[in-house]
Amino acid sequence: MPKVIAEVVSVHAEEAAFLWQLRAAAVHAPHYLLRDLTRLDQRIEAHLDGLRVAGDAGWDLCKKAMADGGAGEVFAAAVLALEGGKADRIDFVVEHGCSKPAKARGLISALGWLPYERVKEHVVSLATSFRFPLRRVGLAAAAAHRQHPPFSLSSAFRANDPLFKVRALKAVGEFGATDVLTGLKHYLDADDPRCCFWAAWSGVLVYGDPTAQVALQGIAEGGGPFAERAAQLACRRLDLPLANRWRQRLAELRNKRSSIRVAGAVGDPEAVPFLIEQMRVPPLARIAGEAFALMTGVDIAYNDLEGKKPEGFEPVPSDDPNDENVGMDPDDNLAWPDPALVAKWWQGHQAGFTKGKRYLLGKPLGPEAIAEALRGGRQRQRAAAALELALKNRGQPLFEVRAPGFRQQEMLAQKAPA
């Protein structure tokens, strides 16, 4: 292969892997819109196309890059191998991709990137493998497509592999599986905190189970890496007065971050004074602004409500094991709100809101607000809307806001969420 062409193909391989890493953070980012994610995905596709056109040379470069690379390199190679259909290449990326959980993310993403009918055979084969690393990848890929694997999830709960068990408990909520509550409840007091959380999360999301609700609220009140995520779902299953009282209790327990998350998730304007007050506390200011935006639909930066970063402020790294950027500032890419400007904005707009009602992005919570948030919200706002949609429709799969942007746009265009 001529040197110039080799250099071009090498750039395609490097860029596909690098952009995938950007995407892994973008799907959870507070500033990404669906159109931004779609543009990023189109850039990834363009580099994958370059590798496809290069044929064997593209594969050879991707295979070589996997040796010392991470999940992004696995993703690029896996897409080529799965599309090409050559058994030896597929076996190679499966073995390499399943060698470590961190690398498995790239293989799962590749299986989720391609249309399900194209990868169904591989997903089913992996999900039913006798080897747990492969089974975890298969189940995760099935969940990415929201296509139930050919076995009961309750049987997976009994597996002698902690990571596979955790993945199955999480999948219940993703699939909206309505036939496994009895098995699920056995793990609400498991020794493994990951099992406890995902069992409670799925039990509340799919079933609204009272025991799971108590467990999820306990996780939120106890603090720790799952507290904020637990709080954001648990509050949505409570009657509004009770949700507001629970928010206050979390604040009294010094779980201020979880309390702020609840204020945004519940969306009752009664919490606005509390949120504005938290904007004066540097470690809490940005998520308080995010919660205010989730309720009101205002854009802190675009609407000129932004302040300056406090001098000398150093963020506390995230310890959430579900955060793709563990060890980084959990509020990165959030605007710094100016409490005085926010208060002034609220004074001029609060007449459009009624205390004792729930709001999502400035609209009364309901099908229209949920649909608009899924189409036009930012990634975390879209994830909140997806939860509301699943809670409204028991047994419906959780809308996957991390799916390829072009696929999400097609799904949202075909049928309005209801």
Q: Which amino acid is at 120?
A: K
DSSP letter, residue 306: B
Q: How far apart are CA 402 and CA 112, in angstroms?
A: 10
Judge contact between 384 and 391, C-beta under 8 A. Answer: no
In angstroms, the CA 221 to CA 193 distance is: 14
Single pTM value for the model: 0.94
Q: Is 78 helix (H, G, I), strand (E, B) or coil?
A: helix
CA 59, CA 304: separation in Å to the nearest integer?
Answer: 48
CB atoms within 10 A of CB 321: 11
| Calpha distance 200→256 (Å, rounded) | 22
CA–CA separation, 3 and 372 (whole Å): 50
Q: What are phi and psi of 355, to 5 degrees?
A: -60, 145
| pLDDT of 57 | 92
DSSP 212: H
- Cα dihedral 383, 388, 389, 391, rounded to 10, equals 130
Q: What angle do CA 29, 35, 36 make, to 5 degrees?
A: 45
* DSSP character string of 342-404: HHHHHHHHGGG--TTS-EETTEESSHHHHHHHHHHSBHHHHHHHHHHHHHHSTTPPPP-TTS-
Structure tokens at 268: 């009752």
Question: Would you say the C-alpha torsion 12, 15, 21, 25 has a positive or negative sign?
Answer: negative
SS3 at position 80? helix
Long-range residue pairs from 326-329, CB within 8 A, at least 24 positions apart, any chain = none
pLDDT per position as a tens digit, 59-83: 999 999 998 899 999 999 999 999 9
365 sits in the region (left: phi over 0; alpha: psi -120 to 50; else beta) called beta
Contact 74, 96 (CB under 8 A): yes
- 407 and 399 in contact (C-beta within 8 Å)? no
How many residues are given for the chain?
418
> Residue 55 and residue 127: Cα distance in Å, rounded?
29
**pLDDT digit of tens for each residue in the chain (418 aa)?**
555 477 889 999 999 999 999 999 999 999 999 999 999 999 999 999 999 999 999 999 999 999 889 999 999 999 999 999 999 999 999 999 999 999 999 999 999 999 999 999 999 999 999 999 999 999 999 999 999 998 889 999 988 899 999 999 999 999 999 999 999 999 999 999 999 999 999 999 999 999 999 999 999 999 999 999 999 999 999 999 999 999 999 999 999 999 999 999 999 999 999 999 999 999 999 999 999 999 999 999 999 999 999 988 888 765 555 555 555 788 999 999 999 999 999 999 999 999 999 999 999 999 999 999 999 999 999 999 999 999 999 999 999 999 999 999 999 998 666 6
Q: Which of 34, 114, 148 is nearest to 397 (CA)?
A: 148
